[in-house]
Amino acid sequence: MDQTLDVKKAIRDLGVAARAASRLLARAGTAAKNQALSAAASAIRSSQKKILEANKLDVAGAKKAGRDAAFVDRLALSAELVEQMAEGVEQVAALADPVGAISERVKRPTGIEVARMRVPIGVIALIYESRPNVTADAAALCVKSGNACILRGGSESLHSNRVIAACMRSGLKAAGLPESAVQLVEFSDRAAVGELITLPEYIDIIVPRGGKELIARLARESRIPMIKHLDGVCHVYVDDSADPAMAVRIADNAKTQRYGTCNTMETLLVAEGIARKVLPELGRIFLSKKVEMHGDDATQKLIPGIKKATDRDYYTEWLAPVVSIRVVKGLDEAIEHIAKYGSQHTDAIVAGDRARAERFLREVDSSSVMWNASTRFADGYEYGLGAEIGISTDKLHARGPVGLEGLTTQKYVVLGHGEVRS
Amino acid sequence: MDQTLDVKKAIRDLGVAARAASRLLARAGTAAKNQALSAAASAIRSSQKKILEANKLDVAGAKKAGRDAAFVDRLALSAELVEQMAEGVEQVAALADPVGAISERVKRPTGIEVARMRVPIGVIALIYESRPNVTADAAALCVKSGNACILRGGSESLHSNRVIAACMRSGLKAAGLPESAVQLVEFSDRAAVGELITLPEYIDIIVPRGGKELIARLARESRIPMIKHLDGVCHVYVDDSADPAMAVRIADNAKTQRYGTCNTMETLLVAEGIARKVLPELGRIFLSKKVEMHGDDATQKLIPGIKKATDRDYYTEWLAPVVSIRVVKGLDEAIEHIAKYGSQHTDAIVAGDRARAERFLREVDSSSVMWNASTRFADGYEYGLGAEIGISTDKLHARGPVGLEGLTTQKYVVLGHGEVRS
């Protein structure tokens, strides 16, 4: 039989089941959803051995397939990581339930009352790569926000994901909720993803997590709206009104606290009036931490021996111990630079002057704008969302870290007393 | 020279100019935006003669092209309609400016403060059909919400739209704002629309208004997110706990107050326990108003002589004096019917029983759900939004009537004191 037809049918079946489950989950109470998550966390703990055995198979497979050490590292689980996974599910259970909240209630001259009610989105498909903990995290967030989910993890983590998804489903079952609210795509070929993105009748949003190429391809091809994250070309701009010590501390942290994250600073902009007080010191720090610096002429004068920055460098998300540096005249040039080269992710200003900081916060069109803080704070946990399903660089619906609220939407509720329109 | 290349370049040029204008408009103050709208309203009034002359050309062209009376009616302007257009622009000026509002400010344990700031989306492309007043309405809403817009009206209204758009631009100019914040696509061929929907780098959202086929096609082909409206298969469900007189009044109004609108009731569902008290009376009213009724067996017994409803009827948005009627066992069957046949637009319950009404409001997954009110209230003006750019049947971002707030988004603002992440 034709394999393509098999995949088509299987994915459609998942969609039909997810849609049905989503209707039941949408009306589930907070207590039942929390019970499901507690039971799932217990199941993860009691399945520790099975999860680790499955994970061993995945790790062996990845090594055999010649995957690099970083890949295997993301894939590999330990007893400690399994415990963290269970705790993560319990933390989601402890978050406030956004569903059902009524806001903006107003009485209209006609007599009707109009309000908005927060409701689940419906069915969410998550497409992700190697980390198996995403299976538990994402399922927990979807269950808590009343959404059914279809999870399509990387084929290299299929054994691990299968056991983890089974734990989540057993939690749903224990709470009397439909198991098909959490479903795993078990086809490893790419056709499965191709199918998922063409079923708007069963899937309301796609959340792709993974490499930029995967996401860009899905964005081109998907017929379903996405909550997605593309580049993170984040900037720190040091205004000449900044405290130099604070500027050095923030720029250092934004670049070197972790190199591979999307909220890491990739380009440092420094006002010419303060460059002399900031760049030599930062040059020493970056040199000592083996951060490769690419600077413009003015920067090269203050930090001798570094590479000349190219125009292309300023567009680059290094995700590595490399930083682009540029000396600018001041705030206007910084804002222009960020508008041209940035990716609307996270950008920070270090400044003592409030009016300039406010202009930066207002005029830089990024999902997070910061004053006197490290870009590394752009994160759902740091913002107090409790958890995040991802960071959105889109403008519609959810911008920046996306937590439970981003997995819901609002409908209008009209309360009348028999009113008709005249 | 190749015409396709011309269109491609011209649309791209509009996009580049719109993006630049959007950055200036995003930082414009409320006073400047209001001044632009007042000046635009004055320009519309003082250009009344020019607008009506241009409109005469359009009307003559439409007649020559064999367009039907309804089409010509939507296209034709009068002195009174031009005055209404000017007043509409002034009403938008009087609305509160959503841009810059700060909300959800919290202090985090790390010391940073996190808040959300409401900001314009950027560049909005509006694709619409014959009504020339949309040119003024949409431009006013975009200017007030700080967005640049690209307007692509129907080719039949090009003469009218050109004069109206010039009035809006003269208002922008008078207030020192960039004229290219309002641009009109002057190409009449469909290639222009095809180009618009492939420029995510210059256009942030597409708002299509018009026939279902146009919107469905754009939804399939667009690479840019949309705020769109598809079907309006709206239901009124009369529960057996309803006051029969109220039920009759609401069902009558929901169907007959206007036939061609998206929030008109297309299907009436009646609980069997109250059918006898409601359907014969409604049958008389619909008959007297020449509304064609299609009912199931139970309905046919209570309203003799009407057509038998087919399964297809229940999926149909009549937009005409036709109504589908079905007798259901009660609330559960009504909710099931709406989930299967509805379009998630607007659905109402008439009921005395609060618990049942609340279940309906919670479980019916539509952009507007109503209790004891006519579906005809689903409208931005009736909800108090002041104006609307359309009604969204999408789930992401904006659901239901979309006003100024739906044309904005929120970014995160982080206020620190030198905090770094540890």
Angle between helices B133-144 and B158-174 (to 10 degrees): 30
AA identity, residue B413? V
DSSP bridge partners of A393: none
Interface pTM, i.e. ipTM? 0.90
> B253: which chain A residues are within 8 Å (Cβ-Cβ)?
420-421
CB of B405 within 8 Å of a chain A CB? The answer is no
CA nearest to B289, candidates B264, B315, B318, B252? B252
**Partners of B127 in the beta sheet?**
B152, B208
Burial class (CB in 10 A: 0-12, 13-18, 19+), A186: middle
What is the model's pLDDT at position B3? 61
What pLDDT score does B217 carry? 85
Average pLDDT over residues B172-185: 97
Under a CB-based contact definition with an 8 Å cutoff, are residues B398 and B404 in contact? no
Return the pLDDT at A2. 56
Kindly identify which residue of chain B lies nearest to residue A203, measuring between CA atoms.
Answer: B395
Lookup result for tokens 């959503």: B98
- If you measure CA to CA, which chain A residue comes closest to B114? A383
* E runs forming strands in A161-232: 182-184, 205-208
Confidence of residue A1 (pLDDT cuts 50, 70, 90): very low
Provide the pLDDT for residue B213: 82
Among candidates A87, A113, A95, A195, which has minimal Cα distance to A419?
A: A113
**Higher local confidence (pLDDT), A186 or A47:** A47
Q: What is the pLDDT of residues A355-413, one digit of tens each?
A: 999 999 999 999 999 999 999 999 988 998 877 888 888 888 888 999 999 999 999 99
**Which residues of chain B does A241 touch, with a Cβ-Cβ cutoff of 8 Å?**
none
**Sign of the four-CA dihedral B367, B371, B374, B380:** negative
Task: Tell me, yes or no, if B339 comes closer than 8 A to chain A by beta carbon.
Answer: yes
The 10s digit of each residue's pLDDT in B327-374 is: 999 999 999 999 999 999 999 999 999 999 999 999 999 999 999 999
Under 8 Å CB pairs connecting chains A and B tally to 220
Please tell me whether residue A413 adopts helix, strand or coil conformation.
Answer: strand
* B402: closest chain A residue by CA: A412
A373/B339 touch (CB, cutoff 8 Å), yes or no: no
pLDDT surpassing 80 at residue A5: no
CB atoms within 10 A of CB A311: 8
In this prediction, residues A294-308 reach a mean pLDDT of 97
Least confident of A120-124, A162-166, B208-212: B208-212
**SS3 of B88, please?**
helix
Contact yes or no for B401 and A384 at CB 8 A: no
Output the CA angle B130-B134-B135, nearest 5 degrees.
100
Contacts of A368 in chain B (CB under 8 A): 411-414
Quickly state the pLDDT bin for B82 (edges 50, 70, 90): very high
> How close A158 gets to chain B, by Cα (Å)?
30
Contact B409 A401 (CB under 8 A): no
Are the Cβ atoms of B396 and A420 closer than 8 angstroms?
A: no
Yes or no, beta carbons of A418 and B249 under 8 Å apart: yes
Q: Nearest by CB to B421, from A27, A374, A417: name it.
A: A374
Residue B238 Cα, gap to closest chain A Cα (Å): 12
Which among B108, B361, B419 has the least Cβ separation from residue A374?
B419
* Contact map slice: B 352-381 vs A, CB within 8 A: 361-363, 365-374, 376-378
**Cβ–Cβ contact B255 with A under 8 A:** no
CA distance B220 to chain A (A): 6
Q: How many CB atoms lie within 10 A of CB A214?
A: 16
pLDDT at B276 over 70: yes
Please state, in angstroms and rounded to a whole number, the distance separating the CA atoms of residues A272 and A274. 5
**Which candidate from B108, B370, B373 shows the least CB-CB separation from A384?**
B108
Q: What proportion of chain A, given as a percentage, has pLDDT over 90?
A: 79
Q: How far is the C-alpha of A58 from the C-alpha of A71, rounded, in Å?
A: 11
CA distances, A190 to each of A10, A182, A197 (Å): 14, 20, 11
Stated as kind and residue range, the H or E segment containing A192 is helix A191-196
Nearest chain A residue to B99, by CA:
A362
B419 contact residues in A (CB cutoff 8 A): 372-374, 377
Q: Which range among A69-73, A209-213, B2-6, B150-154 shows the weakest confidence by mean pLDDT?
A: B2-6
| Torsion sign across C-alpha atoms A336, A337, A339, A340 | positive
Q: Which residue of A411, A413, A415, A422 is the best one to mutate when testing the B interface, meaning the one whose CB has the most B CBs within 10 A?
A: A411
- Pick from B27, B223, B382: CB nearest A110: B382
> What pLDDT is stored for residue B1 in this prediction?
45
Give the lowest-confidence range in A74-83, A209-218, B305-314: A209-218
Helix-strand-coil split of chain B, %, nearest 5: 45, 20, 30
| Per-residue pLDDT at B2 exceeds 60 | no
Looking at the complex, report in whole angstroms how far the Cα of residue A267 sits from the nearest Cα belonging to chain B: 17
Rg (CA), chain B: 24
Average pLDDT, chain A: 93
Determine contact: A340 vs chain B, CB below 8 A. no
Q: Which amino acid is at B251?
A: A
pLDDT of residue B55: 97
Convert the pLDDT of each residue in B225-264 to its tens digit: 888 877 899 999 999 999 999 999 999 999 999 998 899 9
Structure confidence at residue A4 (pLDDT): 66
CB contacts of A400 in chain B (<8 Å) are 411-412
Encode pLDDT of A254-276 as tens digits. 999 999 889 999 999 999 999 99
Tokens of A334: 């910084």
Q: Is A383 on the interface with B (CB under 8 A)?
A: yes
Chain B partners within 8 Å of A382 (Cβ): 108, 110, 112, 114, 421
Q: Do B377 and A419 touch (CB under 8 A)?
A: yes
Contact B415 A371 (CB under 8 A): yes
- Structure tokens of A177? 């909720």
Which chain B residues are within 8 Å of A205, Cβ to Cβ?
A: 395-396
Q: Which of A374, A383, A411 sits opposite B420 (nearest CB)?
A: A374
| Tokens 């092209």 found at | B65
